[in-house]
Structure formats: C-alpha cells, structure tokens
C-alpha cells in the first residue's frame, strides 16, 4: 500500500514533492538526480541521519555522523576491499556448499521449499564467519536458532509496535540523554510495557554476543600463533583485521572498544536481511523467467568446466550474465527503497528536472529550511524513465550487456555502484557493497547450477516497509528451517515463498 501511494505521488508530482507528516511537519520526497548529488555528495555535511536512526544503532558505523563517521570508516575500509574479498571467497563457497547440501537433502522429500529463511540463515552465517570468525548456524536441517540471529531478525520488527514508533519519534529524541545508563535501564525495567521489554531483551542478547565476539577476538590476537590460524577463517575475519588495525592506528584514529563492539550488530543488520531479500527476489524472477534461468545456468556450468566448481573472485565476478542479473535486480528492486535525511541548516536544492510550484511558477531549485526531513528514493531514481528510458520499470538483465543510455551518463547519478542509488553514494555509501555482490554471486552460482526454480500456487505479495520484504498468502505452517525453493534440475517441482515480517528502518 505504501509503495502504491508513493508511486502515485511520484507519477503525479514528479521528482520532488512535499508531504504533510506527523504534527503537520513538512516532509520532502525526491529522486531528482541533481538534488541527490547535493544531498549525498556536494553538501552531505548539511544532510544528516535523523536522530531516531542514531538512537537505534548505538556506536556502530550506521549511527555516527561527520568526522566521527569518517574516522570509523577509515578503520573499516580495508576489510571491504577487493583484496580482502578475494581472501574471503573460499569461506563464502564453504558456507554456500552447506546451504546447497541441506537443500539437496530436503529436496528428496519436499514438494515445495521456502527459500527465504534459508537465505537469511546463510547471510547470517556469512557475516558471522567472514565478519567475526564466529559461527551462528550449521545450516543443517533442524538446527536451532542462535539467540543473536533470532534477536537481530526480530529487532526492527519489534520496534514497529505502534506505541513504540510514536515514542521513538516524540519522546526518545528528548530523553535518551537524560541520566546515566543505569538510570535509563531502571526506567525501562520499571515501565509495565511488554513491547519495550521485548526490545530490551533483544538488545541485551545482541550486546552480550557482540562483547563475547570482541573479547574472544582480542584474546586470540594476544595469544597469536595456532590460536589465530585455528579461528574459523584463519584470523582473516573483519573483526580480527579491525582490532589489529585499531591497535596499530595513531591515537587520533583509534576507536574505543565500545565502537568496535558496536560494529558487530551494525554489520550484521546491514548484511543480513538486505542481501537475503535481494537473493530471494532474484530467485523469484528466475522462476518467472525460465529462459533467463536456463541461460544463466549455461554460463555458470561453462565457467565451472573452465575454472572448476568454485571459480576465484576474478573469474566469478567477471561472468557477464550473472553480473547483469544481479545489477538489474538491484536496480529495479533496491532492498532499501527509501532513506531519510535531515537538513542541519537552510539549504538550496538545485533540480535536474524543474518542478511547478503551487502558484504555477517553474522552479529550478528549492529552498529547504533547517530541520526539514527529506526522503531520498533509490527506488524511484533507479526506475526514472527520464534517465533509464521508457522500459525503466521492466526487468531486463540484457540492458547491462549493451551500452547504457546517454541520458543515464548525463544524469550523473551519485551512486557508488553502476549509476544506481541502491548502495547510496558519498561518504555514507554502503561500505559492504562488494561483500553483498560476492555473496549473491557465490550463492547463485552454487544453487542455479544444481537446482531449477519454479513457481508454486501460492500468491506472493512483495512488501515495502523500509527493507523490501514479502508475504505469501495461504502459507502452510512450518518448523525451523522450513522448506526451500531449490529443486533438482531433473525433477520438475514448484517454488513457494512463505511470509517474512515487514520491517522499517
């Protein structure tokens, strides 16, 4: 419903318009490429994350601003480089094989298999091992949920309790700095509010697991030698590299322990539902475009014949059709369709496409008063016909195998990846976009080679509540590690996706 409303507004009012929000506040919504250049690149110091987002994510990379954010990013940047991704590729394959083996076993008895829970568990294990040298899940059938993964999956959904939403936007920005943490905790414990206590318990689990991971990392680094090499990924995980780099950093660049601990939940949140939902969307699209699926399978099998079943980073990322499918899906279905910024001072937003004001004047720029919130839309920028052409709303992987339209080059979309706003741009772009791409390509290469994906008879509705998600109507009851969409190529069978919660950033 929310997506339909915004789509209709964008169609009616163009690339920048005003919405009346809570307490009669004015919100702006834009996907104008020139406005986005100023918001995420040229004037990014003016446009900051809203206070509500900062409160939710503690001391991690998502929740810091300005110089503080740049300082954290400087320490984190090397572990998301191509060189580091190259080292992590065998770990990605190892986890992908576990997923594939469980699906193969499950496929022997199940007619329909729900892929999404499996992809979420796989994404959690990928960030667990390559991020923290820590295993959250064996990816075996019937394995119990890890408390951290369970809390992480339900955290933002729990925050969507109506009363909590109102509290977050009205009371929390005022009171979150009052008193000591002990006092704040006592108040939370005292209030007879079940939804608040559920969030409190999830935060406790996430924090205690983060501390455990951090302390174990420090201990292993201190012991060195065999202890380091026996770590899950041989001491090359993000947290190990991060702690070592922090030890060697100048006093000016060094991060305090609480900020290193804060990266665990931050990186897990950023890496889990976004990538698993993008992968689920690709599998759904492949199920509805069997010709594309078969062409992709042919490319993967040829690559396996030449480079072996596990092509290295360069050979895997160079596969043109696999790359085109990932790019096109991330273009058309950005996992995070809308992001929020707040103007910290009066600002001028120039526009690539002039808009007509309420009094009929043509505006080439707009004055935005300090304190105004603005929704920036990767979703609509990635689908803008003025930039991408008349087929902008169609899923066409082949568009990436031909020269891109001149209108796209001229628009100078400020995205960090392929003229897309999917991973944002500037100093707050998604630091892990290469990690996400590698995960998608490794998992797809392993699954599409072995399984065929086809649609079942359940109606799938895709939701848009912060992170793209979906529900399936008339889904059946399931236990932990429910059935998956994977099916052996030789056995015709069906594809179904069960309900996933709708969550908001």
CA distance 321 to 329: 12
Residue 79 lies in a domain: yes
DSSP code, position 451? B
Top-confidence residue, 425 or 253: 425
Lowest mean pLDDT of 8-12, 78-82, 206-210, 459-463, name the range.
459-463
User: How high is the pLDDT of residue 54?
Assistant: 53
Number of Cβ atoms within 10 Å of the Cβ of 249: 14
1 pLDDT more than 70: no
Top-confidence residue, 421 or 459: 421
504 pLDDT more than 90: no
Task: Report the percent of the chain where pLDDT is more than 70.
Answer: 87
Q: Kindly report the backbone phi and psi dihedral angles of residue 487, in degrees, each rounded to the nearest multiple of 5, phi listed first.
A: -145, 145
Residue 245 lies in a domain: yes
184 pLDDT more than 60: yes
**Which structural domain range is residue 22 located in?**
2-496
Q: Which two tokens stand for residue 210?
A: 């983060």
Lowest mean pLDDT of 46-55, 100-109, 366-375, 376-385, name the range.
46-55
Beta bridge partners of 363: 355
471 confidence band (pLDDT: 50, 70, 90): very low
492 pLDDT more than 80: no
Using CA atoms, how far residue 258 sits from 60, 61, 63, 254, 264, in Å, is 9, 12, 13, 12, 11
Spell out the residues 6+ positions from residue 497 whose beta carbon is closer than 8 angstroms to its own.
114, 115, 116, 280, 284, 458, 460, 470, 472, 485
pTM summary value: 0.87
**Tokens 């996992």 belong to which residue?**
335
**Tokens 């979309």 belong to which residue?**
413
At 303-331, the pLDDT tens digits run 999 999 999 999 999 999 999 999 999 99
53 confidence band (pLDDT: 50, 70, 90): low
Binding residues for heme: 430
Residue 289 lies in a domain: yes
Residue 179 lies in a domain: yes
Count of structural domains, the chain:
1
CB 164 within 8 A of CB 196: yes
CA distance 397 to 320: 10
243 pLDDT more than 80: yes
Binding residues: 430
Residue 501 lies in a domain: no
DSSP code, position 420? B
Residue 502 lies in a domain: no
Spell out the residues 6+ positions from residue 493 whose beta carbon is closer than 8 angstroms to its own.
107, 111, 112, 452, 454, 487
DSSP code, position 158? H
Top-confidence residue, 396 or 144: 396
At 139-148, the pLDDT tens digits run 999 999 899 9
CA distance 55 to 51: 6
User: How high is the pLDDT of residue 456?
Assistant: 79
Q: Which two tokens stand for residue 13?
A: 């009012």
405 pLDDT more than 90: yes
CATH number of the domain to which 461 belongs: 1.10.630.10
502 pLDDT more than 70: no
At 440-468, the pLDDT tens digits run 999 999 999 999 999 877 878 887 655 65
User: How high is the pLDDT of residue 230?
Assistant: 66
Lowest mean pLDDT of 106-110, 418-422, 495-499, name the range.
495-499
Task: Report the percent of the chain where pLDDT is more than 90.
Answer: 54
Residue 505 lies in a domain: no
Lowest mean pLDDT of 164-168, 288-292, 308-312, 405-409, name the range.
164-168
499 confidence band (pLDDT: 50, 70, 90): very low
419 confidence band (pLDDT: 50, 70, 90): very high
Average pLDDT, the chain: 85
Residue 503 lies in a domain: no
């Amino acid at each position: 419903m929310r997506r339909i409303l915004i789509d209709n507004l964008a169609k009616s009012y163009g690339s920048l318009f005003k919405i009346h929000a809570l307490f009669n506040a004015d919100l702006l919504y834009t996907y104008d490429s020139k406005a986005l250049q100023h918001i995420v690149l040229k004037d990014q110091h003016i446009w900051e994350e809203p206070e509500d987002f900062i409160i939710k994510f503690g001391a991690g990379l998502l929740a810091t601003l300005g110089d503080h954010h740049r300082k954290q990013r400087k320490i984190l940047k090397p572990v998301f480089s191509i060189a580091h991704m190259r080292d992590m590729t065998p770990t990605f394959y190892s986890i992908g094989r576990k997923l594939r083996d469980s699906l193969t076993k499950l496929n022997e008895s199940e007619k329909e298999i729900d892929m999404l829970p499996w992809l979420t568990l796989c994404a959690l294990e990928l960030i667990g091992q390559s991020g923290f040298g820590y295993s959250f899940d064996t990816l075996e059938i019937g394995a119990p949920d890890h408390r951290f993964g369970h809390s992480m999956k339900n955290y933002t959904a729990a925050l969507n309790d109506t009363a909590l939403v109102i509290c977050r936007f009205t009371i929390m920005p005022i009171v979150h700095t009052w008193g000591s943490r002990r006092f704040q905790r006592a108040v939370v414990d005292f209030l007879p509010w079940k939804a608040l206590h559920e969030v409190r318990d999830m935060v406790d689990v996430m924090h205690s697991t983060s501390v455990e991971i951090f302390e174990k990392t420090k201990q292993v680094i201190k012991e060195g030698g065999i202890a380091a090499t026996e770590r899950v990924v041989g001491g090359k995980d993000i947290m190990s590299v991060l702690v070592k780099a922090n030890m060697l950093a100048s006093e000016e660049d060094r991060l305090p322990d609480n900020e290193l601990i804060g990266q665990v939940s931050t990186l897990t949140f950023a890496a889990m539902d976004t990538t698993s939902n993008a992968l689920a969307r690709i599998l759904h699209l492949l199920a509805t475009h069997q010709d594309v699926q078969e062409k992709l399978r042919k490319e993967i099998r040829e690559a396996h014949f030449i480079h072996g079943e596990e092509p290295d980073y360069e050979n895997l990322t160079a596969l043109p059709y696999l790359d085109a499918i990932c790019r096109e899906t991330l273009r058309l279905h950005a996992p995070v369709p809308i992001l929020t910024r707040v103007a910290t001072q009066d600002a001028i937003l120039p526009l690539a496409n002039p808009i007509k004001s309420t009094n009929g004047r043509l505006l080439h720029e707009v004055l935005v008063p300090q304190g105004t919130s603005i929704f920036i839309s990767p979703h609509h920028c990635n689908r803008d016909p003025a930039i991408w052409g008349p087929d902008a709303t169609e899923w066409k992987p082949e568009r990436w195998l031909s020269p891109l339209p001149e209108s796209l080059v001229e628009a100078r979309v400020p995205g960090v990846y392929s003229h897309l706003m999917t991973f944002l741009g500037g100093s707050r772009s998604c630091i892990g976009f290469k990690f996400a791409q590698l995960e998608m390509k490794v998992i797809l290469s392993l699954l599409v080679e072995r399984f065929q994906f086809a649609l079942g008879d359940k109606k799938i509705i895709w939701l848009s509540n912060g992170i793209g998600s979906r529900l399936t109507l008339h889904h059946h009851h399931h236990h932990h590690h429910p059935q998956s969409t994977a099916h052996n190529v030789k056995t015709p069978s069906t594809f179904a996706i069960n309900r996933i919660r709708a969550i908001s950033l």
